[in-house]
Amino acid sequence: MRTIGILTVLAVALVVSAAAGILVGAVAIGPSDVVAALFGSNDVNGTIIRELRLPRVLGAALVGGSLATAGALLQGLLRNPLADPFVTGTSAGATLAAVGAIALGASAPIVPLAAFAGALVAVTIVWRLARLGGSTTVLTVLLAGVVLTSFVGAVVTFILVSSDRLALRLRAVLGWLQGGVSVISWEELAVAAVIVAAGFGFALFLAHRLDAYAFGEETAATLGVDPDRTTTAVLAATALLSGAAVALAGLVGFVGLVVPHALRFAIGATHRRLIPASFFAGAAALVLADLGARVLVSPAEVPVGAITGLVGAPFFLALLVRSRRVVV
């Protein structure tokens, strides 16, 4: 009962944020015109709402929800509240592939596809490395992810420094690295939604196993949860979720770290509740962050990654301070 109550509150928050995101934009359109536009009015307002604002808001919701869900999964698997969706190297793989694609002169829809493929390849590499000893241990997942991320960071720095020689479109790369949902086509949105739905369904299916993980890998094993298979399954689910997110929006930080972390404080660590709650809260958070990105310095825009960092980092610190007080 409590679960349903929490989820209802978060779902309502998401709907309210989305409504705000659709009502407010660079061009002032009155609420009645917005409603008319949603129901197919055939003028310029209709196009602005249906082709620009609505996909943008839905994209932000999808990205925020995916990142927060992936964060919740990984924090549960690694039993580490500092885990974010990129800890398994997805951001590194996606970045390398996307920057490489931009350097080769590709644009939409090749860049998001490359990013998604890069994210999957990176998780696969991390997973293979983690399995070298025979079984998959979470510590090796973490280490392999960190090493891969640092390595790719160095490679990308090298590419950026030699951007002159590569005739790289530096602004396109920087825009991608800063993260943003700006313009998303309905086709991209539909493909991403299918991937996210698969990842999210998988995540719900894994919820009870992650609960067993809270007591450690050995205890989980005695509870009948195969740590090897569970690690693999969780990695696969997070790869789908964060891969789709980076493909749509580039590197958006902090949502996947802060949202599940905060929810753990607020509603407890039961994954059956935490996973859907993370999706709704993450979605609402990124829709609001994107709204902020659009209106704060209007008519210009801030990259949404800057907003999530600006709000997320102090929020995370506040949680940290509070958790210390509780412990002491």
Partner 1 sequence: MRSRVVVFLAVLLLTLASCGGAVTISPSPSVTASSFPATLSDFQNRSVTVPARPERLVSIGPSITAFLFALGAGPRVVGVDDFSDEPAEAATREHVGGIKVNFEKVVALKPDLVFSVKFSDGTIEKLQAASLNVLVVDPQSVSDVAKTATLLGKAVGADGEALARSIQQRVDAVKAKTANVTNRPRVYHEIDASDPAKIFTVGPGSYINDLIDIAGGTNIAARAASAYPQLSAEEILKTDPEIIVLAADAYSPKPTDVAARQGWSIIAAVKNNRIVTIDPNLINRPGPRVGEAAEAYAKLVHPELFR
Contacting range for partner 1; rule: CB under 8 A; set: 80-88, 127-135, 184-192, 257-265:
184-192
CB of 311 to partner 1, least distance (A): 17
Contact map string, positions 252 to 291, toward partner 1, x by CB under 8 A = ----------------------------------------
186-213 vs 227-249: helix crossing angle, rounded to 10: 150
Among 8, 9, 47, 318, binds partner 1 (CB under 8 A): 47
Figure out which of the listed residues 182, 232, 270, 323 binds partner 1, where binding follows CB under 8 A: 182
DSSP secondary structure string for all residues of 50-96: IIIIHHHHHHHHHHHHHHHHHHHHHHHHHT-TT--TTTTSHHHHHHH
CB of 28 to partner 1, least distance (A): 10
Q: What CA–CA distance (Å, rounded) separates 102 from 305?
A: 20
Q: Does 44 bind partner 1 (CB under 8 A)?
A: yes
Which residue lies nearer to partner 1 by CB, 89 or 180? Answer: 180
**Residue 228 sits in the site that holds partner 1 (CB under 8 A):** no
Give the Å distances, CA to CA, from 303 to 84, 175, 178, 249, 297.
Answer: 20, 8, 6, 10, 11
- Interface mask toward partner 1 for 135-174; x: CB under 8 A: --------------------------------x-x-xx--
Residue 33 sits in the site that holds partner 1 (CB under 8 A): no
Burial of 38 (C-beta count, 10 Å sphere; 0-12/13-18/19+): middle
The correct pick among 14, 37, 48, 130 for binding partner 1 (CB under 8 A) is 48
Which DSSP state fits 104?
T
61-to-18, 68, 129, 159 alpha-carbon distances in Å? 8, 11, 33, 32
Decide: is 27 part of the binding site for partner 1 (CB under 8 A). Answer: yes
- CB count within 10 Å of CB 160 equals 16
Q: Spell out, one character per residue from 79 to 108, where the chain touches partner 1: x when CB under 8 A holds, - when not.
A: --------------------------x-x-
Q: Supply 267's token pair.
A: 């509603």
Q: Are 96 and 149 in contact (CB under 8 A)?
A: no
- Could you tell me the smallest distance in angstroms from the CB atom of residue 283 to partner 1? 20
193 binds partner 1 (CB under 8 A): no
Strand, helix or coil at 207? helix
Examine residue 180 and tell whether it contacts partner 1 (CB under 8 A): yes
List interacting residues with partner 1 (CB under 8 A). 25-27, 44, 47-48, 50-53, 55-56, 105, 107, 167, 169, 171-172, 175, 180, 182-186, 294, 297, 299-302
